[in-house]
Amino acid sequence: MSGFKAFLLRGNLIDVAVGIVIGVAFTTVINGLVKDLFTPLIAALGGKRDFSQLSFTVNHSRFLYGDFINALISFVIVAAVLYFLVVSPYARLKAVFEKPPAPEPPTRDCPECLSSVPARARRCAFCTAQLTPAEA
């Protein structure tokens, strides 16, 4: 039971839960924006009253492609907002504070086992052969 308690009280779990709740609320706002603002605007340009009700029928089955287009517009808006307000600034901030990787030390091949060893090594780590160290 203590392991489960530790799992529930971890900081990451709370952060993820808060992020999901905010994401759902944000998606609801975007869906409302698309349904109540963008859809009527697109419908007015197309001469229809309600864009989300656009459909076609095949063998008495009704396909609401207008509703699908609403969902597609909502997805694109959410993805754009996430990219421009979260992903892109995070990548720039990470590039500023992240240290560049350390350069790899020069290596050479062991004459006995042909493994790659540091150039200044005196003994091969793989076959323990004696090596003459390279000049610094």
Q: Residue 96 and residue 103: Cα distance in Å, rounded?
A: 19
Give per-residue pLDDT as tens, 45-99: 777 666 777 788 999 998 888 888 878 888 888 888 888 888 899 889 888 888 8
Domain borders along the chain are 2-97, 101-136
> 2-97: what fold?
1.10.1200
Helix (H, G, I), strand (E, B) or coil at 63: strand
Q: Residue 73 and residue 96: Cα distance in Å, rounded?
A: 34
Helix (H, G, I), strand (E, B) or coil at 118: strand
CA 25 to chain centre: 20
pTM confidence score: 0.54
